[in-house]
Amino acid sequence: MPDHVAPVRRLAARVVRPLCTALLLGLAVTAAGAQEAPAAAAGLTAVKAAHWIDTESGRARGPVVVVIKDERITEVHDGGDVPAGATVIDLGDATLLPGLIDVHVHLTSDPTTSTGNYYRDALTQSAMDEAVLAPMLAKRTLDAGFTTVRNVGAPAYIDVALRDAIDRGQIPGPRMLVATVPIGSTGGHADDSTGFSPDVSFAGPTGVADGVDAVRARVRENVKRGADVIKFMASAGVLSNEASVGAPQYTQAEMDAIVDEAHRWGKKVAAHAHGAEAIAMAIRAGVDSVEHCSFIDAEGLKLAKARGTYLDFDVYNDDYILAEYAKLGTPPAQIAKEKLVGRVQRENFRKAVQANEKMAFATDAGVYPHGWNGKQFAKMVQWGMTPMQAIQSATWNAADLLGWRDRVGAIKPGLYADMVAVKGDPLKDVSVLEHVDFVMKGGRVDRSDLAGR
């Protein structure tokens, strides 16, 4: 499915220094009236709810009392007394879950920012425009209950500046792991100039690299600039101007080199891949996850199972692209590629569920509006998952892919106090997760339509 090169992506000249990007992030927050997160309150907080979902065991339980000290959970009780002197947040009959995790987002783009003219956007808007809007998109994501995200592609190292500002408590947003600029071949899915006149050139950081030595150097550069994860384009894509939708765009030797170098630096690797051949090549190279997975075949499913590779299907955004992207002035050839992908991807998602593959919740938010991430839950259930499986894909399983099970993904002692609550029962109607009623990150309430004190 589509990736960071959505038609709303700004392709204008990007002579933007990281320091300028960080400054713009701060200016955007000031303009939006965002407030600094206050220091964690002294003492204990106790969150009470009638129901909770234990994502580690896959069981619905309740009632529950979750005790929080500073940013972390210290105790979880099935009912019982609240510690003396604790500040109580009583969520009543709501269902409490861990904060949700989306392992495939792009917080520097959003279709709602498009002018409706693909080429005008490409040639008149720059990475500065994206930097100004990124804090708003991060806050929208957090408000939707996604307290952790993996941002798998952004221009000009905006995602690094955004992550760091959030970590410093200067702006509200989810915990972020970032990939910086995705690595890709000349003329491929990461090459901004594909499809433009040879007289048009684009400045700024680029992930375009060809050959074993060059891709190794690009991995090192991304690590140097702050990447938590390495992202590369194993195949062609949908929302870009190359003709193919899924053909391999690197050799096996190049893919092997990217993964070897990333793992040498202790970084996990995500491979964008639609086509069956590219998927198999990426898995053989040792990637930690394959993104999109549209045309995965029996061989790819077998390889992923044998090697423990996560398969990340973005099975909601086909609906949005086919309904809205013609209105955004997206080139017809790109929409035609989406029509080749959508239904087949969902059918292969069902096969992956039936094969009991390792799967994480990955939406490609930014291709459709941020804050809509939860709409994918219903699609995952429609195409084969149980509600519990879908919830675990966005909590305990996603935390495993990120290497963060010691931080997020469950409600258990020692983890961050990242929690959401809904009024209904998501195991009966998973669509209630499209509109969460309570969001807490690190023991701090981000928003609530439920909590009483």
36-46 pLDDT, tens digit per residue, is: 333 333 489 99
- Chain mean pLDDT for the chain: 90
Predicted pLDDT of residue 270:
98
Backbone angles phi, psi at 144, to 5 degrees: -80, 0
Q: Model confidence at 434, in pLDDT bands (50, 70, 90)?
A: very high
Amino acid making up residue 94: A
Q: Beta strand 51-54 with 59-61: parallel, antiparallel or unpaired?
A: antiparallel
Neighbours of 407 (CB within 10 A): 15
Q: What angle do CA 59, 63, 69 make, to 5 degrees?
A: 95
How large is the average pLDDT for residues 349-373? 98
Fold assignment, 18-31+100-402? TIM Barrel (3.20.20)
179-192 pLDDT, tens digit per residue, is: 999 999 999 998 88
In the chain, domain spans = 18-31+100-402, 44-98+411-448
How large is the average pLDDT for residues 163-184? 98
Predicted pLDDT of residue 126:
87
Sign, CA torsion 187/193/194/199: negative
Look at residue 299 and tell me whether its pLDDT is greater than 50: yes
* 8 A C-beta contact, residue 87 and residue 46: yes
Predicted pLDDT of residue 162:
98
What is the percent of the chain with per-residue pLDDT over 90, rounded to a whole number? 80
Predicted pLDDT of residue 258:
98
Dist CA 351 CA 276 (whole Å):
14
How large is the average pLDDT for residues 161-175? 98
Q: Model confidence at 28, in pLDDT bands (50, 70, 90)?
A: very low
Look at residue 15 and tell me whether its pLDDT is greater than 90: no
Identical topology for domains 18-31+100-402 and 44-98+411-448: no
Predicted pLDDT of residue 23:
39
Predicted pLDDT of residue 125:
85
Look at residue 223 and tell me whether its pLDDT is greater than 60: yes
363-406 pLDDT, tens digit per residue, is: 999 999 999 999 999 999 999 999 999 999 999 999 999 999 99
Looking only at Cα atoms, what is the longest distance across the chain?
A: 71
Predicted pLDDT of residue 440:
98
Q: Distance from CA of residue 433 to its chain's centroid? A: 16
Query: What three-state secondary structure class fits 265?
Result: coil
Look at residue 16 and tell me whether its pLDDT is greater than 50: no
Query: What three-state secondary structure class fits 25?
Result: helix
Q: Among candidates 248, 234, 174, which has minimal Cα distance to 398?
A: 174
What is the percent of the chain with per-residue pLDDT over 70, rounded to a whole number? 90
Sequence-distant contacts of 431-435: CB under 8 A, at least 24 apart: 431/377, 431/378, 433/100, 433/145, 433/374, 433/377, 433/391, 434/372, 434/374, 434/375, 434/377, 434/378, 435/374
43-59 pLDDT, tens digit per residue, is: 899 999 999 999 999 99
Q: Model confidence at 452, in pLDDT bands (50, 70, 90)?
A: low
Predicted pLDDT of residue 39:
37
Predicted pLDDT of residue 10:
37
Predicted pLDDT of residue 193:
78
Q: Model confidence at 31, in pLDDT bands (50, 70, 90)?
A: very low
Look at residue 8 and tell me whether its pLDDT is greater than 60: no
Fold assignment, 44-98+411-448? Urease, subunit C; domain 1 (2.30.40)
262-279 pLDDT, tens digit per residue, is: 999 999 999 999 999 999
